[in-house]
Amino acid sequence: MLKNIVPHHKEVAAKLADIAPSGYTMALNVCYLTPQVQVTTYSEAWVKRYREMHFVSHDPVAIWSTVNSGTTRWSDLPLWGTQG
């Protein structure tokens, strides 16, 4: 499926790994918070924490990016109503 949506997905994955060595998530064709295709390279520990904190519905990076431009670090973001 991924190769049909992103023909050069291996090259894209290599570039993402270069700029995000700690991991990344790529979600494509998202509808109602459910992607048709999702690739996650984060550690299982981080994926578990992400789920436990319910970030899928209030991801601090997604919220930040809707009102800002540029770059930021996860560690510089408030956790938007969560404790962590």
The mean pLDDT of 33-42, rounded to a whole number, is 85
- State residue 73's pLDDT score: 82
On the question of pLDDT at 1 being above 70, the answer is yes
pTM, to two decimals:
0.65
Mean pLDDT, range 76-81, rounded to an integer: 69
Q: What is the mean pLDDT of residues 2-31?
A: 86
Q: What is the pLDDT of residue 59?
A: 80
Provide the total of helices (H) and of strands (E) in the chain, helices listed first: 5, 2
Structure tokens at 82: 């969560």
Domain ranges of the chain: 1-42, 44-84
Helix, strand and coil in the chain, % to nearest 5: 45, 15, 35
